[in-house]
A and B are shown apart, each in its own frame.
Chain A
Amino acid sequence: MSTPSPANDRPKIRLRDVRKSFGSKVVLDGIDLDVGKAESLVVIGGSGSGKSVLLKCILGLLDPDSGVIEIDGQNVVGLPRAEREAFMHKFGMLFQGGALFDSLPVWENVAFGLIQGEGMDRVKAREVALTKLAQVGLGEDVSRLSPAELSGGMQKRVSLARAIATEPEIIFFDEPTTGLDPIMADVINDLIVKCVRELGATAMSITHDMASARKIADRVAMLYHGRIIWEGPVGDIDASGNDHVDQFIHGRAEGPIEMAIRRE
């Protein structure tokens, strides 16, 4: 297409030839990716393949070495810090490790974006926080604890509640169901689907959990050796015709990916 597309056709997130290295280690080696408005994209890929780095580049926590990252049609690579930070209002992020503020109680963690980012008063923000905590299956008794007093799975759920508390336009989930029991994992999957369907949010998730991927994804992209080697609708994933994808979704030790590991 050479003509400029209308605003609602325009992808919410658009990446072209994004590259990122740490020293001599190439992590992202030319990523091209589009995520449409109100679409849920799941990125899969082996451990250490650069999925978290990809999210952090889009968020602006890491600066890519080169390439284009457009949010709502505006290139954000190379923008001055202050302008880059203005985009944070659109984002919510669930960090892989939780990243809860250990100096604040659970409810203030969840309400943080509302109080500090949006200037909501504390009483009201606390109510919203309790609602969000209830959605991830945590009661008022938990809300007063400090994050250090929670189990790993509970921390993850608090972190998820924090990511969606401000109802952002774009939400990143870095392994939302890792460390949860299967039932709670499904509750979280439903919650992510709800954020996309009901709030119209654009979601980009990372997961190793194929059941979760099948449930929350509209589209799936596979990251391998710094590139997107396959992407398509979630329904096509079993007939991708790509050996790497086949091996990954079936979790087989034998296949092209293992060969790559041996070579290194």
Chain B
Amino acid sequence: MNPLARIGAAFLAFLSAIGRIGMFTATAVSHCVRPPFYANLLLRQFLEIGYYSLPVVGLTTLFTGMVLALQSYTGFSRFSAEGAVATVVVLSMTRELAPVLAGLMVAGRVGAAIAAEIGTMRVTEQIDALTTLSTNPFKYLIVPRLLGATISLPLLVLIGDIIGVFGGYLVGVYKLDFNQGAYIHSTIQYLERMDVISGLVKAAVFGFFVALMGCFHGFHSRGGAQGVGAATTNAVVSASILILIANYTITELFFAR
């Protein structure tokens, strides 16, 4: 094949993938608002995605908050702006780092698990079996995961915000000898409601993308264990890329004037 034809074929494949993801998303979302709903399945996903991700998100944000305080202190002391450390920590955590890092961690933990589970169900004909038992696989498998991730990620990030700021506080007060009251004061002083809200909106979008990519790649997996493995990899990679792109887009929507 000549190179131009190859580029063209790749581009067409890309477009058709976008189209299929679009159709899949539309179908999934339309099933989110039409009964029957499976409340117990949603609860289980909530537990699976939200609760069991707490340790990894907590650890990530704790150490990020700590290193942020340390780094900004050593950097800012070069022009005597050490006072800004608390503000830098809280703004970076709420606006950027907690949602992005939690999103990426959950993509690795949950996105992969979703793709592997649904992919295995696909290649062992369990999804076909669901259909023959008068149960819509979108409603039974995909809607609970999409809603579970979209709702639980903002909650995870809110907790991550608090833990991250606390990490900064620990380093600030116990290592860098800031005054406790002053550190807390400057943490709150410049924080605006929009900083937190934008981070939570990001988290909801990231959660949606993680579950969507896991479900999409699992649902369309082909050809046994190898196909499921490929679906898992694709789910994590595509979710991570979507998170980074969406992160920029949402930031621009919120803060660009």
A interface residue numbers (CB < 8 A to B)? 56, 59-61, 85, 88-89, 91-93, 95, 97, 99-103, 112-113, 116-118, 162, 166
Given that A97-B124, A99-B124 are known contacts, is A88 also in contact with B131, CB under 8 Å in the complex? yes
B198 within 8 A of A: no
CA distance A27 to B136 in the complex (A): 27
Asked if B124 and A61 make an inter-chain contact with CB atoms under 8 angstroms apart, the answer reads no
Q: Given A95-B125, A97-B124, A113 and B131 touching (CB < 8 A)?
A: no
Contact B134 A89 (CB under 8 A): yes
Beyond A97-B125, A99-B126, A100-B126, whether A61 also contacts B133 by CB under 8 A is: no
Q: Which residues on B sit within 8 Å (CB–CB) of A117?
A: 133-135
Question: Looking across the interface, which residue of chain B has its beta carbon closest to that of A114?
Answer: B133
Asked whether A85 and B124 contact (CB < 8 A) given A93-B129, A99-B129, A116-B140, the answer is no
Q: Is the CB of A92 within 8 A of B129?
A: no
Residues of B within 8 A of A89 (CB): 134
Known interface pairs A93-B132, A102-B120, A113-B134; 16 further A-B residue pairs with C-beta atoms within 8 A, sorted by A's residue number: A56-B128, A61-B128, A88-B131, A88-B133, A99-B124, A99-B125, A99-B126, A99-B128, A99-B129, A101-B121, A101-B126, A112-B135, A113-B133, A116-B133, A116-B135, A117-B133
What is the interface of chain B mostly: helix, strand, loop, or mixed? helix
Alpha-carbon separation in the docked complex, A91 to B132 (Å): 7
Complex interface: chain A residues within 8 A of B136 (CB):
85
C-alpha spacing A93/B125, complex, angstroms:
11
Q: CA A94 – CA B21 in complex, angstroms?
A: 31
**What are 23 residue pairs bridging A and B, where the CB atoms are less than 8 Å apart in the complex?**
A59-B132, A61-B131, A85-B131, A85-B134, A85-B136, A88-B131, A88-B134, A91-B132, A92-B132, A93-B132, A95-B128, A99-B124, A99-B125, A99-B128, A100-B129, A101-B121, A101-B129, A102-B120, A113-B133, A116-B135, A116-B140, A117-B135, A118-B134
Please report the C-alpha to C-alpha distance between residue A85 and residue B124 in the assembled complex, in whole angstroms: 20
Distance, CA A89 to CA B135, complexed state (A): 10
B134 A116 Cβ-Cβ under 8 A: yes
Q: How far is the CB of B77 from chain A (nearest CB, A)?
A: 55
Give the shortest distance, in Å, between B205 (CB) and chain A (any CB): 28
Interface centre among B120, B124, B132 (most CB of A within 10 A): B132
Q: Could you tell me the distance between the alpha carbons of A88 and B134 in the complex, rounded to whole angstroms?
A: 6
A97→B128 CA distance, assembly (Å): 12
Closest to A62 in B: B128
| Chain B 201-219 interface mask (CB, 8 Å, partner A; 1/0) | 0000000000000000000
B24 to chain A, nearest CB (A): 13
Of B121, B129, B140, which is within 8 A of A95 by CB? B129
